[in-house]
């Protein structure tokens, strides 16, 4: 018999003012109805604020040091890398396939989503994460142009093909799993950042859009999206809307 998860509530450490990669983790916690504390969103005098995240930057954590947030703490252990956190939580909470090969496929899909996220990030920060957008705006325009013309259509076509081959409703297996939740967030983010480009491509990714709509309507996701726990998209996150970058190729 499967034992129930230990060391709850989970503690999530992520920058307090943006969805960022933390959002992929939050969506799993919310769909699983797993208790968690979004630590950095607590007041500073309760251990919150960005210092709670910065505390991981000196490698002084228990267990394996982390390279970058998001970080999930369970008991006195910490885990980093978004895809790894998502997999860990999903496998604990019934949001991953049972079959061994399908579990590996779910992770592959999650890593593919992470690849897209990294390229989205690079549309507004093509030169360095340490420079402001305004200091790399010209390069960003060029990068975003290539992304929207070549990469985005390819990525959407890929997930469309995955869904088509798997019977339309889920990316892997025949039940909801964590890459489905992450694909939803990817699509939401892309629609926020690049409304023109996404509108132009909508006829080419109908299965992807249908999956995103179905995830959004799930009761726990719907409740989360309407709650104060959900931060809005903004110009600090990974998905940013700069009209000058959203040019239909
Ligand atoms: N591959 C990592 C990337 C983590 C990452 O880039 N985190 C960003 C926020 S989304 C960050 O704050 N990085 C700070 C740093 O790299 O020093 C993951 O998927 O978790």
Predicted local confidence at residue 6, as pLDDT: 80
Residue with tokens 């496998």: 91
**Res. 59 pLDDT band, cuts 50 70 90:** confident
Residue 85 confidence (pLDDT) above 90: yes
Compute the distance from residue 68 Cα to the ligand 1 centre, in Å: 5
Question: Helix H segments across 36-177?
Answer: 50-54, 82-92, 100-124, 137-146, 152-165
Going along the chain from its start, the domains and CATH numbers come out as 10-92 (3.40.30.10), 100-245 (1.20.1050.10)
3-state secondary structure 145-176: HHHHHHHHHHHHHHHHHHHHHCCCCCCCCCCC
For a mutational test of ligand 1's pocket, the pick from 57, 68, 89, i.e. the residue with the most ligand atoms closer than 8 A to its C-beta, is: 68
Dist CA 153 CA 224 (whole Å): 30
Compute the distance from residue 238 Cα to the ligand 1 centre, in Å: 10
CB of 20 closer than 6 A to ligand 1? yes
Predicted local confidence at residue 63, as pLDDT: 82
Q: Residue with the nearest Cα to atom 1 of ligand 1?
A: 81
Compute the distance from residue 150 Cα to the ligand 1 centre, in Å: 25
Predicted local confidence at residue 189, as pLDDT: 98
Q: Residue with the nearest Cα to atom 9 of ligand 1?
A: 69
pTM for this predicted structure: 0.97
Predicted local confidence at residue 3, as pLDDT: 56
Mean pLDDT of the chain: 96
Quick one: what percent of the chain has pLDDT higher than 90? 92
For the residues 30-36, what does the mean pLDDT come to?
A: 98
Cα 95 to the center of its chain, rounded Å: 15
CB of 19 closer than 6 A to ligand 1? no
59: left (phi over 0), alpha (psi -120 to 50) or beta: left
Q: How does pLDDT run across 108-140, given as a tens digit for each residue? A: 999 999 999 999 999 999 999 999 999 999 999
Predicted local confidence at residue 60, as pLDDT: 72
Reduce the DSSP state of residue 232 to 3 states and report it: coil
**Res. 7 pLDDT band, cuts 50 70 90:** confident
Any bridge partners for residue 11, and if so which?
37, 73
Compute the distance from residue 1 Cα to the ligand 1 centre, in Å: 36
Compute the distance from residue 118 Cα to the ligand 1 centre, in Å: 10
**Res. 2 pLDDT band, cuts 50 70 90:** very low
Q: How does pLDDT run across 167-188, given as a tens digit for each residue? A: 999 999 999 999 999 999 999 9
Any bridge partners for residue 77, and if so which?
74
For the residues 201-214, what does the mean pLDDT come to?
A: 98
């Amino acid at each position: 018999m499967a034992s129930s998860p230990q060391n709850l509530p989970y503690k999530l450490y992520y920058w307090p003012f943006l969805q960022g990669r933390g959002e992929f983790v939050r969506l799993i916690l919310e769909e699983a109805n797993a208790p968690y504390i979004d630590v950095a969103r607590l007041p500073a005098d309760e251990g919150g604020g960005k210092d709670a995240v910065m505390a991981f930057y000196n490698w002084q954590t228990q267990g394996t040091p982390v390279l970058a947030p998001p970080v999930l703490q369970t008991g006195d252990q910490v885990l980093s890398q978004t895809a790894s956190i998502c997999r860990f939580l999903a496998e604990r909470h019934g949001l991953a396939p049972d079959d061994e090969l399908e579990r590996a496929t779910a992770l592959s899909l999650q890593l593919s989503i992470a690849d897209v996220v990294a390229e989205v990030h690079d549309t507004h920060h093509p030169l360095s994460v340490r420079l402001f957008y305004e200091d790399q705006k010209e390069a960003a325009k060029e990068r975003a142009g290539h992304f929207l013309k070549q990469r985005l259509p390819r990525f959407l076509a890929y997930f469309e093909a995955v869904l088509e081959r798997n019977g339309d409703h889920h990316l892997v297996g025949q039940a909801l799993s964590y890459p489905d939740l992450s694909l939803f967030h990817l699509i939401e983010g892309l629609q926020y950042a690049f409304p023109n480009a996404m509108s132009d491509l909508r006829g080419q990714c109908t299965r992807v859009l249908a999956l995103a709509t179905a995830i959004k309507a799930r009761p726990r996701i719907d409740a989360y999206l309407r709650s104060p726990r959900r931060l809005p998209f903004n110009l600090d996150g990974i998905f940013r809307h700069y009209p000058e970058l959203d040019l239909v190729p």
